[in-house]
Structure 1
Amino acid sequence: MSKNPGGKTNPLLAAERADRNRKIFIQVAVAAVLVGLVAAIGIGIAVKKARKDDPGPTPSIAATGSMNAGGTPGSITDNGAVRIGKPDAKVTVRVIADLQCPACKAFEAANTQVLADAVNNGTAKVEYNIIAFLDKASTTQYSSRAANASYCVAESDPTKYQAWLAAMFAQQPAEGGSGLPDDKLIQIAKDAGYTDDAVAECITERKYDKYIQARTKDVLESGIQSTPSIFVNGKQIQSSQEIFAPGGLAPTIAAAAQ
């Protein structure tokens, strides 16, 4: 066995040791980077999943604010409909509509007064399921933005909701265009009496967008094929006369109230 005379450092061994330590350091550093990268990817995936799964805010109408001097109660149903009218009304009318839908505009024009009268005299409560499946009919997702505005105004004051809805349909933009801009949606709301800044903020921030997409999916998966789809006490109305003729739904509501 040879020995290092005089305890001197062997340059070759020192070089090998330094090289080995350098390799170990590089391997540890690479491993640490890989662990950090995997962790970062995992966190990124988790964050994206959490954002995707987040249902977003849920609209509501406070019980204390659901009725003002006008005497018209409002609420949000389990399926996301804006319910206008007295809870104990004999007749329930359900309206499934998209604010970009021309046929829905025709229904509204024909029956807006019928539904307003039925609510005001206590005969019926009307549940408005405003969905957003026609986003492709505009370049700015107008259906979703308009449906969001529907919740914004409803939770602010349901007593003005039907008048607001009539105004929205009256100013419905043509399909294939850009749709009404947010400032126009805010102006329509203000003209209907919604002057609270919170309503304007709700519209511009698209506060209920995720909720709308989820409820639209639910409605379409329930078997609804087109809009408007109208139900009176759970029975779907198929007659074009009842849906599109001026005042056409009045006899149906009157018969259901008997």
Structure 2
Amino acid sequence: MSDPNPADYPNQATPPPRPGRDRRLIVLAVVAVLVAVGAIGVGALVHLRGTRVAGVAQAAETGGASAGGGSFGLNGAVRVGPAAAKVTVRLVADLQCPACKAFERDAGQVLMDAVKEGSTAVEYNIITFLDRASTDQYSSRAGNASYCVASSGTGHYQQWLESLFGKQPAEGGAGLPDATLIEIAKSAGYTDPAVAQCITDRKYDKPLRENTKQVFATGVNATPTVFVNDKQIPNRDLSASSLRAMIAAAR
């Protein structure tokens, strides 16, 4: 599992309290901060439920309507499958995450088969918190590519994802260059020049950063995290067989 780095969310330094009245004031201030943080957490959760990715709001408003029967979910996820699916699988992943690559290798075909069967939709909630694992912000660039291809249509999205994870670079060095991300997209069927331009321009960097913060605010603390109809699969059960069984039980 890949965990967020606490250094990415540093706390501000607080000077030591002085005795007497100042100490009482500090205690009151801390209580006020805790109340405010609680309110922010609830607000972030509510906001996540209604987030649309800039530039693709129309697909969400029209119920999905992109090629291949997919759309962007209200939580910013790439939705593949029927809008009225009885079962919704949500996968939270970072495209630089080695454990996410392993999950895709093990269970990716289960998700493809479930969508083809017709009663299941998959929401790929791509987040970007592993830029520190490469020398060139590969997590953010790959996440942006995810939105770029999906905005062109989700009919080839699962095949694209399988290919991208198959070429995932090792941590600690350079990620795949933009030219390679463009070639992977083309090979998966995304030949529209607008997709290549979107990848080069990093069009969705800001929405991805915001979505990542909001996902963590809901309590997700590692990748991959998988839900079936909003019920989280325990990390110890993240396998193809467990996922297949949970999908079947939810139908």
Bin for the TM-score computed over the shorter chain: 0.7 to 0.9
**1:44-63 → structure 2 map (5 Å cutoff):** 57-60=54-57, 62=59, 63=62
Q: How many residues align?
A: 198
Letter in 2 for 1:254: A
Q: Percent identity?
A: 58
Aligned Cα root-mean-square deviation (Å): 1.9
2:132 paired residue among 126, 136, 142? 136
Q: Deviations over 1:121-166 (max 9, x none)?
A: 1121000000000010011111111010001000102100010011
Query: Does residue 152 of the first structure (1) align with residue 148 of the second (2)?
Result: yes
Q: 1:238 to 1:64 in 2, by over 3 A?
A: closer
SS in 1 for 2:174: coil
1:254 matched to 2:251? The reply is no
Amino acid in structure 1 at the alignment position of 2:55: T
Alpha-carbon distance between aligned partners in 2 of 1:56 and 1:90, rounded to the nearest angstrom: 24
Q: Deviations 1:160-198 (Å, cap 9, x if unpaired)?
A: 001001111111000111111100100100110111110
The residue number in structure 2 matching 1:18 is none
Q: What 5-or-longer segments of structure 1 have no aligned partner?
A: 1-54
Alignment equivalent of 2:78, drawn from 58, 79, 82: 82
Q: Per-residue deviation at 1:77?
A: 1.4
How do residues 1-258 of structure 1 correspond to structure 2 at under 5 angstroms? 57-60=54-57, 62=59, 63=62, 66=65, 68=67, 72-241=68-237, 243-244=238-239, 246-257=240-251
Larger radius of gyration: 1
CA shift in 2, pair 1:199/1:172, >3 Å:
same
Contact 1:59–1:155, Cα closer than 8 Å, also in 2: yes
> What per-residue deviation string (whole Å, max 9, x for no partner) do you get for residues 84-127 of structure 1?
10011111100000000000011111111111111111121000
CA contact (8 A) 2:169 2:175 kept: yes
- CA separation in 2, counterparts of 1:233 and 1:90? 9
Q: List alignment gaps of at least 5 residues for structure 2.
A: 1-51
Matching residue of 2:21:
none
- 2:64–2:72 contact (8 Å) kept in structure 1: no
**Following TM superposition, by how much is the alpha carbon of 1:251 offset from its aligned partner in structure 2, in angstroms?**
1.1
- The alpha-carbon distance between structure 1 residues 65 and 123, as it changes in their structure 2 partners (threshold 3 A), is closer
